[in-house]
Amino acid sequence: MFAADRMPMTTLHDCAAPGASTPAILEKTPLERYVPPAKPSLIGLSRAELGAVCARIGVPPAQQRMRVQQLWHWLYVRGADCFDAMTSMSKELRTALGSHYTLARPEIVAEQISADGTRKWLLRLPGEHEGERPHDVECVYIPETDRGTLCISSQVGCTLNCSFCHTGTQRLVRNLTAGEIVGQVMIARDRLGDWPRKPGPPGEAASSRPAAPGVGARVPSEASRLVSNVVMMGMGEPLYNFEAVRDALLIVADNEGLALSKRRVTLSTSGVVPLIGRVGAEIGCMLAVSLHAVTDAVRNELVPLNRKYPIADLMEACRNYPGLTNAKRITFEYVMLKGVNDQLADAKALIKLIKGIPAKINLIPFNPWPGTRYDCSDWDQIERFSEYVFKAGYSSPVRTPRGRDILAACGQLKSTTEKLSARERLALRAMAMTE
């Protein structure tokens, strides 16, 4: 039986585009599922799950709450990568933990550093079937003068197939677990020396990093951290992996652990309308919507999911987003494609479309990738578009392309997990998907 047959989490929705002779696939089905190792990692576990771990290894009920607090501190404040480092717990307890669990993060198999300082990590994750090729995802760190933004992934591949996005050309292998999502934040802080008393990456001067506090010192403030912001804008559509993404982001924003403010955590969606309200109600983070067009006809081509959730439904979900205020605006992402969506008429229609929604417009110069049929809008045209939006009363920053030389810019992420096994090829053919 194919992995796809065992994974009904998402289904294929075929519908013909206007004038098209073959149906367009709106949503891909995962080829595999996550299979936990014999010794699972504690990374990504909630307090309740850590309590169950303590009970499983024989911690007396009267001590479990204290032990959970200690584990949480060592995992998410100190960034411990081995149980021996947890010196506030007895050696016996550390041995028991190490006999059944690990503190493993995803494996870094490659690191690229752009001329502008952007870092891209290729992370290796286990596959479902022993002996088959493991799976890779990408994670990108973007340093700026006033912040350090970490762009993390939620899927191996992507459920969707947005025509301008490199990641969308990749098959969907599986969803990431909460631990694999949180693990990307842990890895970034490991590599950057962003934990108390941990060194930075090779070759980086210690003086270029915030001073590490001593034992017992308070956690560095958000402003002093190298990873100060997290965006779910990497590989995958986060809302097709909602539960794992929610659980991971709640850990990232927990004020007794990784402690990033929810206003510094942003989830980007292509418009999975039924789940947008749950993001605000259950996660409470900032919301970004990949809009990219102002008419259904154009958005159907750029974001085929629009055929299922058209613009009118998407805008209604945005207007009803829980907690929406001028201080907590929705970001509408708009990639600038030459001759497709970049005319002054598009800018005027955009303003009408978002009227009444506290929002800002993030204009993204298109980042080319091998094989794309799109071109980036001329810079003068981008500036005219931005100026019109700004004069209409909306913030309209033009996102500076970062990491283009290492294919780390917006829309360019695509892992090297491209060689398919015979089983995967058969599964793809069975779903009428081709390489």
**Cα 220 versus chain centre, distance:** 24
Please report the pLDDT score of residue 367 as a whole number. 85
3-state secondary structure of 26: coil
Domains defined along the chain, listed by start: 47-100 (no CATH), 105-203+221-430 (3.20.20.70)
Please report the pLDDT score of residue 223 as a whole number. 56
Please report the pLDDT score of residue 289 as a whole number. 98
User: Which one, of 68, 42, 44, lies nearest residue 54 by Cα?
Assistant: 68
Region of residue 323 (phi > 0: left; psi between -120 and 50: alpha; otherwise: beta): left
Q: What are the b/e assignments for 266-286, b being 16+ CB within 10 Å?
A: bbbbbbbbebbeebbebbbbb
Q: What are the b/e assignments for 110-130, b being 16+ CB within 10 Å?
A: eebbbebebbbbbbbbbbbee
Contacts of 384 (CB under 8 A, 6+ apart): 344, 347
Please report the pLDDT score of residue 214 as a whole number. 33
Please report the pLDDT score of residue 179 as a whole number. 97
Please report the pLDDT score of residue 166 as a whole number. 83
Q: What are the b/e assignments for 334-354, b being 16+ CB within 10 Å?
A: bbbbeebbbeeebbeebbebb
Please report the pLDDT score of residue 350 as a whole number. 98
Please report the pLDDT score of residue 301 as a whole number. 95
pLDDT in tens, the chain (435 residues): 323 333 333 333 444 443 444 445 789 998 899 999 999 999 999 999 999 999 999 999 999 999 999 999 999 999 999 999 999 999 999 999 999 999 999 999 999 998 889 999 999 998 888 777 778 999 999 999 889 999 999 999 999 989 998 878 888 999 999 999 999 999 999 999 999 865 555 555 443 444 333 333 344 555 578 999 999 999 999 999 999 999 999 999 999 999 999 999 999 999 999 999 999 999 999 999 999 999 999 999 999 999 999 999 999 999 999 999 999 999 999 999 999 999 999 999 999 999 999 999 999 999 888 888 999 999 999 999 999 999 999 999 997 765 556 554 444 444 444 443 433 333 333 333 332
Contact between 167 and 236 (Cβ < 8 Å): yes
Query: What's the start-to-end Cα distance of the chain, in Å?
Result: 21
C-alpha–C-alpha distance, residues 309 and 290, integer Å: 13
Residues known to be catalytic: 138, 410
